[in-house]
Amino acid sequence: MIPKTSLRGNILTPGGWGLGSIHFAEKILEIEGTVADPADNNAPYILPGFIDLHVHGGAGRDVMQGDDAMEVIAQLHARHGTTSLLATTMTAPMAELESALVGVAAEMASRSKGTARVLGVHLEGPYINPEKLGAQPNFVQTGSLEAIQKLHAIADIRVVTLAPEIQGHLQLVAGLAALGLRVQLGHTLGSYEEALAAIDLGASGFTHLYNAMSRLDHRAPGMVGAALAHAEFAEIIPDLQHVHPGAIMTALRAIPKLYCVTDSTAASGMPDGDYLLGRQVVHKCMGGVRLKDGTLAGSTLTMDQALRNLVSIGLEIDDAVRRVATFPADYLGLPERGRLALGAYADVVVMSRDLQLLEVFVEGEKIDLHL
């Protein structure tokens, strides 16, 4: 049983800010208070827990390692305010994907103490363009509905990243959308027109916008142009290394529900050095993660830092919170997460006035931030 907890502060609800108290066990039981501007008091911020839909690793472990790696990863991210996440795979042979998903499924079946809730899998490849690998190893293959259904039977796949220009992939988009999976366009050299064809067939997002996709040109708008012109949702990495703040601001004006992901690796929460990203060896230095040739290879970002980065480039706190919590929940169709509302899961983050984490609760369980 989760004990009842009560917190007092500036509570961000779907209706705006209120100064008062929130009471919860596993789910939110009561919110009481009055409308108030946080600028008029010194109380802490009480926010919905963050949701990260693109997590490769953390605390020295990688999703592709299987076994208990997912527990370690989910624990690291919970200590940074992420209350739920998608375990994200790397492009790999099918046997390795199956092994990794067995480990993910075990953590999904029974959330370990002190961890973020693993909502499912983001299958990032192997159905991508071999000419736009980014940091992915070249185990690219043409996608098939049967292969994805086989993986889906091991662990719940919520998001699939693919390149729509690969022969047969437009039909795959339609098949996956019919199953209720979110299809994202990424690691792609696809044209603007190919992106629109995929959207018409059910594609609903873009993977790490700007990165590993055909760029915007005024005569060839590419994948970036399609996203800016037509997307309702897209993910972006706000570590201020993958994307310039000006490009983030451009996307914010164009895409109504642009949301943030970390694309975090095993190097997150770890000292500088070498780590695994799938089969790739990556090096962490100066806050970034790169392959030997200098290619950015995921990040060391955590969602609390993502929030601070958004505020640092000019977003109001409530807008930034929507992009690290509410919009990812909306994208997956999860009305009981990503917001502080009666009956929603008690995924709660308490932050100081300078946006440092004070407390984190996952489904009402208080997370030890100092393990």
Range of the domain at 185: 50-333
Helix axes 169-178, 192-200, angle to 10 degrees: 30
Full DSSP string of 182-236 = EEEE-SB---HHHHHHHHHTT--EESSTTTTBPPP-SS--HHHHHHHHH-SEEEE
Q: How far apart are CA 314 and CA 320, in angstroms?
A: 9
Q: How far apart are CA 210 and CA 197, in angstroms?
A: 19
Per-residue pLDDT tens, the chain, 371 aa: give them: 899 999 999 999 999 999 999 999 999 999 999 999 999 999 999 999 999 999 999 999 999 999 999 999 999 999 999 999 999 999 999 999 999 999 999 999 999 999 999 999 999 989 999 999 999 999 999 999 999 999 999 999 999 999 999 999 999 999 999 999 999 999 999 999 999 999 999 999 999 999 999 999 999 999 999 999 999 999 999 999 999 999 999 999 999 999 999 999 999 999 999 999 998 899 999 889 999 999 999 999 999 999 999 999 999 999 999 999 999 999 999 999 999 999 999 999 999 999 999 999 999 999 999 87
Task: Select from 331, 356, 355, 335 the least CA-distant residue to 347.
Answer: 335
| Residues, the chain | 371
Contact 73, 61 (CB under 8 A): yes
Any idea which residues carry the catalytic annotation? 263
Asked if residue 343 belongs to a domain, the reply is no
Asked if residue 28 belongs to a domain, the reply is no
Asked if residue 5 belongs to a domain, the reply is no
Tens of pLDDT, residue by residue over 152-172, are 999 999 999 999 999 999 999
**CATH number of residue 68's parent domain:** 3.20.20.140
Tens of pLDDT, residue by residue over 6-55, are 999 999 999 999 999 999 999 999 999 999 999 999 999 999 999 999 99
Q: How far apart are CA 53 and CA 68, in angstroms?
A: 20
Is the Cα dihedral 351, 355, 357, 358 positive or negative? negative
Asked if residue 62 belongs to a domain, the reply is yes
Asked if residue 25 belongs to a domain, the reply is no
Number of domains in the chain: 1
pTM of the predicted model over 0.75 = yes
Asked if residue 361 belongs to a domain, the reply is no
Helix axes 145-152, 94-109, angle to 10 degrees: 30
Asked if residue 213 belongs to a domain, the reply is yes
Q: How far apart are CA 172 and CA 201, in angstroms?
A: 9
- Cis bond before residue 126 (omega within 30° of 0): yes
Give the number of other CB atoms < 10 A from CB of residue 219: 4
Asked if residue 348 belongs to a domain, the reply is no
